[in-house]
Chain A
Amino acid sequence: MKFKNREKEISDAHEARLESELGEVETFGGSLRRMCRENRLALVSAIIIGLFILAAVFAPLLTPYTYEEQDVLSRLAAPSWKHIFGTDEAGRDVFTRMLYGSRVSLMVGLVPTAVSMLFGAALGIIAGYVGGRTDSVIMRVADVMLAFPSMLLAMVIMYTLGEGIINIFIALALVNWASVARIVRAETLKLRETEYVESARVSGVRRGRVMLRHIFPNCIPDIIVLFTLNIPSAILSESSLSFLGIGIRPPQASWGLMVNVGRQYLYTQPWLSLIPGAAIMIIVLAFNFLGDGLRDVLDPHLKNQ
């Protein structure tokens, strides 16, 4: 009831801003700026992610070594001026491998997630809007995909496809699309009932056009938030797979792989595992905070998903 809500507002007084309630609708850029202003954690996270991206892109410039270069004489060296993070079991510079590994992690975070977002969103919108049998079929397939524990499904797909980073991308994209599809479908169902979409339909706009021009743009904020929140799980999945020996193989560098290899030397040269492990944690935390921050400004309703 309007009356009671108004009273509650005044009672709920850290929001005694009656005026801001009557404000205008926010633009996307405005939302972002608001997030930067209000949510320092998200801002710091964004900066950290930016730094990682820069490190990944400019890796060759930041280190004199390559990730394969072996210096057998100084295997398993402790951190020193010559090798900032020390060397691994084959004499490769750990810092260099960290930098190149960041490329892998970021790529794995961004590419398969982006693919699964688009694919999942497309299917979700189609399922939600068209309804009927198409909806049932798409949702059944999604249910089947979602029923698998993600690690097991990824393992099976990797087995089928073989090794290689492209296959990892495919595997992770396939594992993630289903949950995106579900959420976008729910959003589409809501949007389908709005007058805005109704009027488009009634004036004879073709289905495809309605989906593309009317429903999809309204899903974009949700998709962005989901994207940011799903990146950490993609990074974690890849590092877990590499950890088990099913993902990236040496001599390529991946943080998960480095943790696994470092396991054998955990008691004597703990930094071999701890440094890449810490890096994984930091980037995952950063994306989580950023995703939370984006969700708070773009669509707090997603909190319940």
Chain B
Amino acid sequence: MVQSIFKRILQTLIVLFGVALLIFLLLRIVPGNAIVTMMGEHADADTIARMTSELGLDQPIYVQFWKYISGAVRGDFGTSYAVGKSVSSLMAAAFPHTLILALAAAVFAWILGIICGVIAAVKKNGFLDHLFMGVSLIGVSLPVFMAAMVLQYLLAYKLHWFPISGVDSWKGYVLPAIALGWNSAGSIARLTRSTLLEVLQEDYIDTARAKGLRRFGVITRHALKNAMLPVITMMAVQLSSLLSGAVICETVFSVNGLGRLAVQAISGRDIPLLEGTVLFSTALVILGNLIADCLYTVLDPRIRKGA
């Protein structure tokens, strides 16, 4: 098992390298001079030349790439063109917001999703089943920005239960977390339901019933343990979409997280900032997936002990 974890870490590093490479290629091969865009058309040739050499953009590509990679590994992503501060300091300030938001959304999604999925499976074809599955379908189809806007309008503007924007207190995280997690909750509910239904058809469920276990015990002690395995895999996959959605939620609710930073980087044509935020966010997702992978290996005894 240790060997497979090692192999997985190696693969992860390769992917991480590929990600960094791709970002670098895409952003530095932009046609048109970034400096010109940044400074406007009125900048004279001398200033452009000076800025170019200052920012190291006149050096050969591979040198630039080496500086980029070695910097990234150390945590130095350069200096933001627009703001002038170091990218890593900007990200360090933004990262906690995104992290809290993503975690809150994930917890919300998982709890809501699993509970709804279990109830829907147990009450199969009943009213609750159709209700939950219908709502979860809407959850999966609702664009994040719509959910965010509707929540903002109803619960913040009309009812004043939560702040319209900003995260000064914990309350500021609630609405964006719900908007962000809503999507995931829908997928999790559907997967939990279908997996649980499949598991309930298995023979060992009959055995458990034949022992005299009550229905509730059968579900909690036998069915769920098996049904949760694919759901955990899905939760890992959702880390990626959570971060994608965070970009939008942070914009709607004016949360100063990594997503918002990325959007600002684009409109400000700020290459180092964009590079840094995208690379860092992707690295987080990759790390999260790796942890989830290892977790799955540990939890399933068939894999742990080599079936």
Contacts and interface: CB of A to CB of B under 8 A. Distances in A.
Does a CB–CB distance below 8 Å link A and B in the complex? yes
Interface of A: 140-141, 143-153, 155-160, 232, 236, 239-240, 243-246, 256, 259-260, 263, 266-267, 270, 273, 277, 280-281, 284-285, 288, 303-304
Given A144-B18, A243-B145, A244-B248, A285 B241 contact: no
Interface string B1-38: 00000000001001110110011001101100000000
Interface in B198-232: 230
Interface in B113-163: 137-138, 140-146, 149, 152-153, 157
A145 B285 CA distance: 12
Contacts of A146: 240
A185 to B, nearest CB: 16
Interface stretch (B44-52, B80-88, B262-270): B262-270
Nearest to B152: A266
B297 interface: no
Contact of A159 (B27, B144, B282): B27
Contact of B143 (A147, A239, A245): A239
B149 A277 contact: yes
Contacts of B11: 143
B137 to A, nearest CB: 7
Contact of B146 (A158, A277, A304): A277
5 contacts: A144-B22, A150-B244, A152-B243, A155-B262, A159-B27
Given A143-B15, A152-B278, A244 B142 contact: no
B149 A150 contact: no
A303 B190 CA distance: 11
Given A140-B15, A148-B19, A151-B244, A266 B149 contact: yes
B282 A148 contact: yes
A277 B286 CA distance: 32
B251 interface: yes
Interface of B: 11, 14-16, 18-19, 22-23, 26-27, 29-30, 137-138, 140-146, 149, 152-153, 157, 194, 230, 240-241, 243-245, 247-248, 251-252, 262-263, 266-267, 274, 277-278, 281-282, 285-286, 289
B282 A149 contact: yes
B241 A150 contact: yes
A159 B16 CA distance: 21
Contact of B145 (A145, A147, A239): A239
Contact of B138 (A145, A245, A256, A281): A281
Given A151-B243, A277-B143, A281-B146, 6 more contacts: A143-B11, A147-B15, A155-B262, A155-B263, A160-B29, A288-B141
Given A144-B15, A277-B143, A281-B146, A152 B262 contact: yes
A152 B157 contact: no
Contacts of A150: 240-241, 244
A240 B143 contact: yes
A74 to B, nearest CB: 24
Nearest to B23: A156
9 nearest A-B pairs in the assembled complex, by CB-CB distance: A151-B244, A144-B18, A149-B243, A149-B244, A284-B141, A277-B146, A285-B141, A160-B26, A149-B240
A50 B210 CA distance: 52
B286 A147 contact: yes
Contacts of B149: 259, 263, 266, 273, 277
A82 B30 CA distance: 46
A143 B18 contact: yes
Contacts of B277: 152
A280 B143 contact: yes
A259 B145 contact: yes
B18 to A, nearest CB: 4
Given A147-B19, A160-B27, A277-B143, A267 B240 contact: no
A140 B18 contact: yes
Contact of B278 (A141, A156, A266, A270): A156
Contacts of B143: 236, 239-240, 243, 256, 277, 280-281, 284
Contacts of B286: 147
A259 B251 CA distance: 14
Contacts of B22: 144-145
Contacts of B285: 147-149
Contacts of A240: 143-145, 248
